[in-house]
Amino acid sequence: MNYRCLVTDSNGQIRKIVRQAGSEDAAAASFLSEGLTPLEITLIQTSGSNREKSIGRKKLLEFTSTFSILLESGLSVKDSIRMLLKITNDKKLLSLAGYIEERLNKGESFSKIIGEMKSTFPPLYRGLVAIGDRVGTLKTVIPSVRDYLIREKKIRDKLVNASIYPLMVLGIALTGSAFIAIFILPKLTELFDGIASAAETDLLGRNISIFTGISLIMFLLIVSISLILVLGQKNKSIREFTDKFLLTIPGIRSIIQTIEIFNFTFSIEVLTGNGITLSEAIPEAASVCRNTVIKYAFLEINKKISTGSSLAEAFSGQKVIPPKVSGWVGLGEATGNINTIFTQLRLYYEAEIENISSRFMGIVEPLLILIVGIIIIILITAFIVPLFSLFGTII
């Protein structure tokens, strides 16, 4: 077991040390024998509940970056993990590194440990580590994984940042509409019942019913979409149906294709750059695709290649793969520069993702302003104008 310890030396200086020991008392005794006084000894949790708990992509990138630097400095895998335990104070990283060290000390391979932690490490990460461990290139693979995570974070941050403002405006508009429908409109009905004619009361009642109905439909629509997305992560059939449906929507289809092909080509570039053959690299790269339809398409391509089909034929036979990809792959196959072509495709689709983020902001902002404007116009024509008309009649 590993313990995170706070000790003082003979000069009164406080030091942080990670110590492996059979118990807390054994750890304390080891410090006393070295002339150190233990102030605090905390077990680094590596229980089953923490082993499979995802640490998040941000922490995973931090772990991989630190681990990569230690490996590049010449340390072995075991020594790098042990050093990581000493230099980090993050509880999640300590738990992860402590668990890995515990299993390494039992004689298990690093690739086996990572391969079993599916909720912590993404498919490409596990695949690259397994291949690197097998062919002896782990020290060059880990920096490639780090670069992949950095690129993925960069793209994800751009898409998230591009979505924050539009979603915030839409959320405020929907929240305001719900507030009006629940609290304001019933008060208006009571007011009209007392001072308006039957016809005016009926008109306002119809307007209130329409507005409340629209608000309810929008709320149910948002809840349904959220529920489908959540269930899609747990149910294979729902996820496949959702992925297939999204690819039938023209604008959404191109965005999904761009992101997935970038992930695929980047993975191919990393794998082949580390000595993996294309036939081995394709199924590993396909595993990083989140859309199941596109993932199955790449697996089908690999199946056709294994039966003797050319790359160009295999790619062109998949409708979800854009024709330009098939064309470029065919060109690379004909010239014998297939690895260069995948690099060019990766660069092209990386630039396309940047363009999508810019276009997304340019389209969504005015669209949401239009939606908010329509809501305001509806409120004015349906409720404010009748109120002014009524007050004019009373005066």
Long-range pairs of 146-152 with CB within 8 A, sequence gap ≥ 24: 146/61, 146/64, 146/65, 146/68, 147/270, 148/124, 148/266, 148/267, 148/270, 149/57, 149/60, 149/61, 149/64, 149/125, 150/61, 151/266, 151/350, 152/57, 152/263
5 and 40 in contact (C-beta within 8 Å)?
yes
For residue 99, report the phi and psi dihedrals to the nearest 5 degrees.
-65, -45
Q: How far apart are CA 3 and CA 22, in angstroms?
A: 10
Query: What is the predicted pLDDT for the residue at 261?
Result: 92
Query: What is the predicted pLDDT for the residue at 236?
Result: 75
Q: How far apart are CA 114 and CA 328, in angstroms?
A: 35
Enumerate the domain spans of the chain. 2-43, 46-117, 122-395
pTM of this structure = 0.64
- Which CA distances in Å does 7 have to 12, 29, 40, 51, 328? 9, 12, 7, 28, 61
Q: How far apart are CA 21 and CA 44, in angstroms?
A: 11
Superfamily of domain 122-395: Type II secretion system (T2SS), domain F (1.20.81.30)
Nearest residue to 94 via CA among 2, 21, 20: 2
- Which CA distances in Å does 114 have to 104, 125, 182, 379? 11, 8, 51, 57
Q: How far apart are CA 159 and CA 356, in angstroms?
A: 9
Q: How far apart are CA 57 and CA 124, in angstroms?
A: 13
Nearest residue to 260 via CA among 215, 321, 173, 182: 321
Instruction: Encode pLDDT of 318-359 as tens digits.
Output: 889 998 898 998 888 888 888 888 989 989 998 888 788 777
pLDDT, averaged per 10 consecutive residues of the chain (395 residues), comes to 78 78 76 82 58 73 92 90 87 88 88 86 80 76 84 76 72 72 67 60 66 72 75 74 87 88 86 80 84 91 88 89 89 86 90 80 74 74 64 52
Q: How far apart are CA 71 and CA 82, in angstroms?
A: 12
Q: How far apart are CA 14 and CA 8, in angstroms?
A: 4
Query: What is the predicted pLDDT for the residue at 183?
Result: 73
Query: What is the predicted pLDDT for the residue at 240?
Result: 84
Query: What is the predicted pLDDT for the residue at 53?
Result: 53
Query: What is the predicted pLDDT for the residue at 63?
Result: 92
285 and 124 in contact (C-beta within 8 Å)?
yes
Q: How far apart are CA 191 and CA 171, in angstroms?
A: 29
List the strands of the sheet with 14-20, edge to edge. 14-20, 2-8, 37-43
